[in-house]
Amino acid sequence: MPGRKTLGIIGGMGPMATACLLQLIIEMTEARTDQEHLDVIVFNRPAVPDRTAYILDRSKPSPLPVLTETARTLEGLGAGVLCAPCVTSHYFYGELSACVGVPFVNMLAETAAELHRAGKRKVGIMATTGTVRTGLLQGALEAVGLEARAPSEVCQELVMSIIYEEIKAGKAASRGKFERVAGELFEAGCDSVVLGCTELSLVEKDVLPAGCMDALKVLAKRCVQLCGGKLKAEYESLLSP
Residue boundaries of the structural domains of the chain: 7-106+217-232, 108-216
At residue 136, what is the residue type?
L
pLDDT score, position 206: 67
Active site residue 190: no
What is the CATH code for 108-216? Answer: 3.40.50.1860
pLDDT score, position 203: 85
Secondary structure letter of residue 127 according to DSSP? -
Q: Which of 20, 83, 86, 212 is catalytic?
A: 86
Strand, coil or helix: what is 124?
strand
Residue 219 near residue 107 (C-beta atoms within 8 A): yes
Domains 7-106+217-232 and 108-216 share a fold: yes
Q: Give the model's confidence band at 1: pLDDT under 50 very low, under 70 low, under 90 confident, else very high.
A: low
Q: What is the topology classification, in CATH, of domain 7-106+217-232?
A: Rossmann fold (3.40.50)
**pTM over cut 0.85:** yes
Q: Which of 83, 155, 190, 197 is catalytic?
A: 197
Q: What is the mean pLDDT of the chain?
A: 94
At 28-75, the pLDDT tens digits run: 999 999 999 999 999 999 999 999 999 999 999 999 999 999 999 999
Angle at 23 between CA 71 and CA 178, to 5 degrees: 95
Report in angstroms the alpha-carbon separations of 35 from 1, 22, 118, 144, 229: 8, 16, 32, 37, 11
Active site residue 223: no
At residue 237, what is the residue type?
S
Q: Give the model's confidence band at 240: pLDDT under 50 very low, under 70 low, under 90 confident, else very high.
A: confident
Distance CA 116, CA 105 (A): 18
